[in-house]
Structure 1
Amino acid sequence: MKFKQITMIDDCGIKEPIVEKISALSKSPLVIFNDTPDSKEEIIKRIGDSDCILLSWKTSISAEVLQACPSLKFIGLCCSLYDESAANVDIAAARELGIQVKGVRDYGDEGAAEFIFAQLVYLFQGLGQYQWKADAAELKGKSIGIIGLGTLGGMVATMAGQFGMKVFYYNRSRKAAAEQKGITYLPLQELLATCDVLTTHLPKNTVLLGETEFGYKKKNSILINTSLGLTFDKAAFSKWLSADKSSYAIFDADGMAPFEGEIAKMDRVISTDKFAGFTAEAKIRLSEKVLENLLAY
């Protein structure tokens, strides 16, 4: 057995038959919790003598918790891990204690990309609560700006091209391969002023858009966020949407957290309590990647 005790300390979204395969790696019976612990004391209690734990993005593990769990050797994040600063585990503290932390990535991008274009079609053609312009419109020929041209941003760019949209992007570094495919780089301010649709794909809780940036944003445009947490300053966003009565915003549950109570009530906001990237297929990909991390330990 790889581990003495594996515990899923919250609802990790792991699917069968992967649960059974994970159980086979634990000397003691696999322990599974299906709710989110509401305090650090409860987290510590659930971890107990486990040398391996699995958790979703909903639970945060602090240095204090790690220090209280001396048996812990491996933490498997059942969620994306792109950089330490955005992680829901104190990775620096884990490193000092000799605890390995592994996350996954690129498991929910397909569902998130499909969500974006489903919502755009509904808005452009007036199939839902709102219609973008007086007449129903096509995506073809409209401009889309992608902030963050990683895996998901790349998928969005490909789909946009298939709809006949003009595709632009802004990224910390230029993407030569993307530009060879006809995706045009623009500085951020120019991107904001140019595009009918702006979609943000940034690391967790990375705030890029403030009042200055919203001041450049094209009138009668659409902002989409499916990133983990807000990519904009809340006050600046509210001011922009209130001032430009012809603009819209689209969010899934990830994209409007922790703003959901206020944002869902705003006019011209299209939102859902569903996580666009957490489809049945995404859960299978997530489960397989989590298992790979355990086997690689």
Structure 2
Amino acid sequence: MFKKLVAIEPVSLIPSAEQKLHDYAKEVILFDDIPEDNKEIIHRIGDADAVLLSYTSSIDKEILDACPNIRYIGMCCSLYSPESANVDILTANAKNITVYGIRDYGDQGVVEYVISELIRYLHGFGKKQWKELPVEITDLKVGIVGLGTSGQMIAVALQAFGADVYYYSRTRKPEEEARDIKYLPLKDLLQTVDVVCTCLNKNVILFQEEQFEWLGNHKIMFNTSIGPSHDISALTKWLSHGDNEFFCDTAGALGDTGELLLHPHVNCMDVSSGRTKQAFDRLSEKVLNNIETYLKSDIELR
């Protein structure tokens, strides 16, 4: 059991999960606003031995050095790699601090977002329409860049509507290729498809001017990543052609909150499609499971 558990910011746990935290710590403190800086984070953590945070704050070496009692950090957000994490995991590990994150809790909402927005644009259900006549997803050539969990789910959903789906990934996925999701090198994929959907880890910027040149014009691009998968100036140049369309759910995925957000060919609701009721349920369950896993292993080591 922890002596003191602190959530340094809102972490999106459902009420029953918040209550469950009291089973894991003698004292539980949940802050309902985002700390302004490291000084405030250090103050909030104090002498806590367990810390929870979401994606809106970071815990770096300065904070870890200032809070020597920490032995567990629970990330209530996606953790794909130490390099993309908002916790300095290497420093934490060096201090024997365990860091657990979660994955795959909001993917269903992201899949629904892509299918919904694509259908609206192809059919002209909103104020825009891709071609002169409405177009079905049937036989539409779509490329998925980054075939992780969400990329696989998007690919399968598109196939259900009859799309011709291709993918590019750093590693080949034979099990997905067996489902007729066809692999192509990135250049070949971009020169083949009409729609590209990037499903990359945070901080992976793959699309520069060259990649947009490969993709060409009169094309559609979705970014479902947490952050931009593109260079901002390269995307702006591609959109300036006038017949290309870009879709993302949040300004973070666009990578810009200024003029580009208002661009006529940028479609950004600035609402996270993965933050659904069901996603919060899954997030809460995974966060609690991580805590239980840590406490169980901690007992076994003693």
Q: Quick check: TM above 0.5?
A: yes
Alpha-carbon distance between aligned partners in 2 of 1:187 and 1:173, rounded to the nearest angstrom: 11
The Cα shift of 1:196 comes to 1.1
Question: Normalising by the residue count of structure 2, what TM-score does the alignment of the two structures yield?
Answer: 0.95
> What secondary structure, in the 3-state scheme, does the structure 2 residue paired with 1:110 have?
helix
Alpha-carbon distance between aligned partners in 2 of 1:179 and 1:27, rounded to the nearest angstrom: 50
Alpha-carbon distance between aligned partners in 2 of 1:164 and 1:260, rounded to the nearest angstrom: 35
Equivalence map 1:106-121=2 (5 Å)? 106-121=104-119
Contact 1:256 1:263 (C-alpha < 8 Å) held by counterparts: no
Would you identify which runs of 4 or more consecutive aligned residues in structure 1 move more than 4 Å? Answer: none
Gaps of 5+ in 2: 295-302
Aligned to 1:10: 9
Question: Normalising by the residue count of structure 1, what TM-score does the alignment of the two structures yield?
Answer: 0.97
Alpha-carbon distance between aligned partners in 1 of 2:254 and 2:264, rounded to the nearest angstrom: 18
Aligned to 1:27: 26
Report the RMSD for the aligned CA atoms in angstroms: 1.1
Contact 2:251 2:268 (C-alpha < 8 Å) held by counterparts: no
Gaps of 5+ in 1: none
| CA separation of 1:181 and 1:255: change in aligned 2, threshold 3 A | farther
Aligned to 2:222: 224
> What residue identity is the alignment partner of 2:88?
D
| CA separation of 1:35 and 1:258: change in aligned 2, threshold 3 A | farther
Contact 1:225 1:255 (C-alpha < 8 Å) held by counterparts: no
CA offset digits 1:18-50 (Å, max 9, x no partner): 11111221112x111111111110000111111
| CA separation of 1:291 and 1:254: change in aligned 2, threshold 3 A | farther
Contact 1:52 1:74 (C-alpha < 8 Å) held by counterparts: yes
| CA separation of 1:99 and 1:262: change in aligned 2, threshold 3 A | farther
Contact 1:226 1:254 (C-alpha < 8 Å) held by counterparts: no
Q: How many residue pairs are counted as aligned between the two chains? A: 294
* 1:283 and 2:291 matched: no
The Cα shift of 1:260 comes to 2.8
> What residue identity is the alignment partner of 1:148?
G
Aligned to 1:214: 212
Alpha-carbon distance between aligned partners in 2 of 1:49 and 1:17, rounded to the nearest angstrom: 26
Aligned to 1:72: 70
Contact 2:145 2:197 (C-alpha < 8 Å) held by counterparts: yes
> What secondary structure, in the 3-state scheme, does the structure 1 residue paired with 2:75 have?
strand
Q: Which residue, 24, 45, 48 being the options, matches 2:46?
A: 48
Contact 1:78 1:104 (C-alpha < 8 Å) held by counterparts: yes
> What secondary structure, in the 3-state scheme, does the structure 2 residue paired with 1:164 have?
coil
Aligned to 1:201: 199
The Cα shift of 1:258 comes to 3.3
